[in-house]
Chains A and B, each alone.
Chain A
């Protein structure tokens, strides 16, 4: 570990970027070696927000442990909950009612939109434009209000439970989502006008932080980070869960491999999410929102794995059960951790300003990396 050392033997400067730094969006600590402004090495140091979630899950029941996962990738808490619920349902062989499936997908896509909106604002802030952040939050607020009505929470939702969802949709849900969609269709074009087309923004993003498809696979990158390099890895398409198999949507990929490609993938994903929501919002089937399950869930002895596509990439839940009421071991495969591992590879040879832009396009959520 090189820490608190001013310079290396070659006379390069070693700078601690974080753990408290405006652009690491949390407590990420990067030790960067720079020669002038050029980055020679980036070394992420983790552990500042490690809460040992996987270990905690071992002493929680199969109903309870899902709530802890909301605190991991807090911007896709619905989707984290969803992955865990899927895994338990797989083990228990619970059949989820059709209504619950649709509600889950709707919530997932709304979460993805909210997450990408926040990312868009933070991305623009990382490259120095402060105004988009507020515009993004205006739209995100609408989604949060919709969530609040139905789930009772705005950040840590805890809405998905094994067998369905915790409560039925609020009567206003359809009306408000429709209003939001028609409002957001205009706003997303405004996003493009304000940021995407900007000359300075383009020059900051294009050709910066190149990640080849081979390296993306080698580092285990998933989500928009890998799709920006042209790697097809959308779990919703490759291993469809819930109703994703019956929906019309495209897996967005770009071939550039640079920051701009990753940026464009997320921008297009927002449009795809809007289209998914539009397809489902009028077709929510009637029926139960939750399957009848036993009060105490007991998974049969064995190993179970399920995967979902969060806003950041593939989120995997691996449960080893000994047949008891609590899991024997739980392992989460979080997208942020693998995406972060590619940072050193992507940032070498670029400038300090580029490092911040590259980190922005990775869309890191630190509690997701440090569980």
Chain B
């Protein structure tokens, strides 16, 4: 069967045959970089359209339906519009930081993509500290947001950036702890090991109640980390107009926008990898027939399906819940989520030591 793994292998072999190993490595890096950029573009277009369609469905309206069949080209038109718009830099802004911030945010999003396994054997960089790498790099995005808020010389931006700083730093802890609970079960930080350990069942089902708790905490925490409603205090449309990106226009605004959606994709991909078995098909115990049917579905479809289900859940949140207030947001993290996830981690460790998980 033609799988992505075979394609990448044959490309690798061909490059190594034709060029010297150094040039081959450089070319591979170039191909991967181009691949990531085009993946970003496609993800941005698809996710923005998906968000608009999902919200329209929940709000008894049709959503975009003019450009292209069923409005599918709407986001392309929007992107073209944004690309052609003038990127204003406000007076009194710190020009260097103002222009750097959107690129920093998008670069961070690109970096986190490295250890994510898209399908069987399709992974950019299977680093042995994959999970740690993700946690470390994702916490950098707050610097871009703070930079944007500070450099804009706008009070709304500043308030939004400060909120975002407090929020991302706090929720990083819960997200990290719930990720660690899976690492405890697996015994490895490597993404491919974590996926391989879920061959006979996903951790969400194998890890008893603590796994479910840490999954819920993970979803809440990553929603907050990506600044999505009900935790969108950094943008808080009704309070701060657009928060940290109030002053951005044109393509630089588009980069923030893109980074938001790509971040949603990445956190959902990580959630799917850790809790829902990544590209592993759904297997139920000894139902041989069922398991074999499930194996026929390509692994990339499994991965994308799981990720998009989680993305849908996060969009569902956004179009249902009102926004929390900043003090309630921090209370939720420090008074509830963090203690719960700590106790949960202890329980998980006990389960892992005693080998009670399936």
Contact = CB atoms under 8 A, between A and B. Distances in A.
A128 B230 contact: yes
Interface string A336-355: 00000000000000011111
Contacts of A130: 55, 59, 319
Main secondary structure of the interface of B (DSSP, over half): loop
Nearest to B319: A131
B90 to A, nearest CB: 15
B319 A353 contact: no
B325 A351 contact: yes
Contacts of A362: none
Interface in B239-264: 239-241
A6 B326 CA distance: 23
Contacts of B239: 23, 352-353, 355-356
B232 interface: yes
A206 B241 CA distance: 24
A127 B323 contact: yes
> Could you say which interface size class chain B belongs to?
20 to 34
A201 B327 CA distance: 14
A124 interface: yes
A291 interface: no
Interface residues of A, number: 31
Interface in B192-251: 229-230, 232-233, 236-241
Nearest to A359: B238
A8 interface: no
A21 B324 contact: no
A200 B61 CA distance: 25
Contacts of B323: 127-129, 200, 204, 353
Interface in A191-216: 195, 198, 200-201, 203-204
Contacts of B328: 200, 203-204
Q: Taking each of A13, A126, A131, A204, which has the highest tally of chain B beta carbons within 10 Å of its own beta carbon? A: A131
B58 interface: yes
A201 B58 CA distance: 19
Interface in A164-206: 195, 198, 200-201, 203-204
Q: Taking each of B156, B241, B321, B326, which has the highest tally of chain A beta carbons within 10 Å of its own beta carbon? A: B321
Interface string B47-72: 00000000100111100000000000
B159 A127 contact: no
A129 B322 contact: yes
Contacts, number: 83
B8 interface: no
B183 to A, nearest CB: 31
A138 B60 CA distance: 8
Interface in B15-37: none
B151 to A, nearest CB: 16
Contact of A127 (B61, B238, B240): B238
Given A138-B60, A351-B327, A128 B319 contact: no
Contact of A22 (B59, B232, B237, B322): B237
B81 interface: no
Contacts of B58: 131
B128 interface: no
A135 B59 CA distance: 7
B322 A204 contact: yes
A195 B322 CA distance: 8
Interface in B299-323: 319-323
B155 interface: yes
B326 A37 contact: yes
Contacts of B159: 15, 37, 352
A131 B59 contact: yes
Interface in A11-59: 13, 15, 21-23, 37
Contact of A204 (B59, B163, B324): B324
A353 B59 contact: no
A356 B322 CA distance: 13
A124 B61 CA distance: 18
Given A128-B229, A130-B55, A351 B155 contact: no
A204 B324 CA distance: 7
Nearest to B240: A352
A211 to B, nearest CB: 19
Interface of B: 55, 58-61, 155-156, 159, 163, 229-230, 232-233, 236-241, 319-328
30 contacts: A6-B155, A13-B155, A15-B155, A15-B156, A22-B237, A22-B241, A23-B238, A37-B163, A37-B326, A37-B327, A126-B238, A127-B323, A128-B229, A128-B230, A128-B236, A128-B321, A128-B323, A131-B58, A131-B319, A195-B322, A198-B322, A203-B324, A203-B325, A203-B328, A204-B324, A351-B325, A352-B159, A353-B239, A353-B323, A355-B239
Given A200-B323, A204-B322, 15 more contacts: A128-B237, A128-B238, A129-B323, A131-B58, A131-B319, A134-B59, A135-B60, A198-B322, A200-B321, A200-B324, A351-B325, A352-B159, A352-B239, A352-B240, A353-B233
